[in-house]
């Protein structure tokens, strides 16, 4: 019996060692590394960036990774001006930006942008035309789309936001946004605002949807990772990381990690669609 227990313990230790080694293999290039990576830009990217950074810094404490938001425009500009090593963007930089800054682009995920309301709101489906009319102010009362007799409180993002650009292009068809719309500085801030306002409407990255808000079907399709992946949900985009010139050193290793099996699993765990 004692020898059997020892055999089982040995097998367990071997399995645990093998499993740990297998899980850590995608991070092996960071072993013994020292240095700093500065990241800023799109807020949809932050959950993936933070988890990747946590794993890297746990393995290699001498590597420091700082992550800031600011929106896609900030990510493109700061990367282009050399203020950060990696600039995140939820929109593809323009040809002018790519040329002017010498940007290299890395698309490591696909995301959807969902219309959201407060969970207390019973309106759970809108057409593209209704959404456009709500955002121009043509429709200003929830009763006109099947809800209660209350004013619709609009929430949007500023023009530096990649989430806004995708929503404006694909949901609003480049239509006007009413001047009385409230501005949110990030996906997280938008979600928090909608969760506290029973008469609000806004939009966030699909990866940010949780029980604090309610997703609204758009032209009959509920926004989810599955419907985006299948091409059924039409408000979708790539998530990009940009560097000024070809990445090198720790920056190159960080970006390469996002495309590994483990990195792409982080993408999926955070609610996005893997590209590999």
| pLDDT for position 271 | 83
Supply the CATH number for residue 39's domain: 3.40.190.10
Tell whether 6 is covered by a domain. no
155 and 250 inside one domain: no
Torsion (CA) 80, 205, 235, 268 in degrees, nearest 10: 90
Q: Name the helix (H) or strand (E) containing 19.
A: helix 2-24
Tell whether 11 is covered by a domain. no
Tell whether 23 is covered by a domain. no
Domain span at residue 138? 112-236
| pLDDT for position 132 | 98
144 and 203 inside one domain: yes
| pLDDT for position 25 | 76
Tell whether 15 is covered by a domain. no
| pLDDT for position 207 | 85
224 and 143 inside one domain: yes
Average pLDDT for consecutive 10-residue bins of the chain (276 residues)? 37 36 72 97 95 97 97 96 97 96 97 97 98 98 98 94 93 96 94 98 93 98 93 95 98 98 95 90
Q: What is the sign of the dihedral through the CA atoms of 190, 192, 196 and 198?
A: positive
124 and 99 inside one domain: no
Return the SS3 of 73.
helix
Q: Which residues contact 92 (CB under 8 A, 6 or more apart)?
A: 105, 238, 240
141 and 103 inside one domain: no
Beta strands 236-244 and 103-117: pairing type?
A: antiparallel
Tokens found for residue 187:
């996906």
Are 218 and 233 a contacting pair, CB within 8 Å? yes
Say how many domains are in the chain: 2
186 and 86 inside one domain: no
pTM of the predicted structure, to 2 decimals: 0.76
160 and 121 inside one domain: yes
Return the SS3 of 171.
coil
Q: Name the helix (H) or strand (E) containing 273.
A: strand 273-274
Query: How far apart, in whole angstroms, are the C-alpha atoms of residue 198 and residue 97?
Result: 40
Query: How far apart, in whole angstroms, are the C-alpha atoms of residue 100 and residue 96?
Result: 6
146 and 98 inside one domain: no
Q: Which of 259, 256, 251, 264 is nearest to 38 (CA)?
A: 251
In DSSP terms, which residues pair with 200 in a beta bridge? 153
| pLDDT for position 89 | 97
Query: How far apart, in whole angstroms, are the C-alpha atoms of residue 196 and residue 139?
Result: 22
Are 255 and 247 a contacting pair, CB within 8 Å? yes
């Amino acid at each position: 019996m004692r020898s059997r227990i020892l055999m089982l313990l040995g097998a367990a230790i071997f399995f645990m060692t093998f499993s740990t080694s297998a899980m850590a293999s995608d991070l092996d290039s960071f072993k013994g590394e020292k240095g700093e990576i500065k990241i800023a830009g799109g807020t949809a990217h932050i959950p993936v960036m933070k988890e990747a950074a946590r794993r890297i810094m746990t393995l290699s404490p001498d590597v420091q990774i700082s992550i800031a938001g600011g929106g896609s425009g900030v990510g493109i500009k700061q990367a282009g001006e050399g203020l950060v090593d990696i600039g995140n963007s939820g929109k593809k930089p323009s040809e002018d930006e790519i040329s002017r800054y010498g940007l290299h682009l890395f698309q490591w995920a696909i995301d959807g942008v969902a219309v959201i309301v407060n969970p207390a709101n019973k309106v759970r489906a809108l057409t593209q035309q209704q959404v456009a009319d709500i955002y121009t102010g043509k429709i200003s009362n929830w009763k006109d789309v099947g809800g209660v007799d209350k004013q619709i409180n609009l929430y949007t993002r500023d023009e530096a936001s990649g989430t806004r650009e995708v929503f404006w292009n694909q949901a609003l068809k480049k239509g006007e946004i009413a001047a009385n719309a409230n501005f949110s500085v990030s996906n997280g801030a938008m979600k928090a605002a909608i969760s506290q306002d029973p008469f609000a409407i806004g939009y966030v990255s699909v990866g940010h949807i949780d029980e604090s808000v309610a997703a609204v079907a758009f032209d009959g399709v509920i926004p989810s990772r599955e419907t985006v992946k299948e091409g059924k949900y039409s408000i979708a985009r790539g998530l990009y990381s940009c560097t000024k010139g070809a990445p090198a050193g720790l920056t190159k290793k960080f970006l390469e990690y996002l495309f590994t099996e483990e990195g792409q699993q982080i993408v999926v765990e955070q609610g996005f669609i893997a590209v590999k």
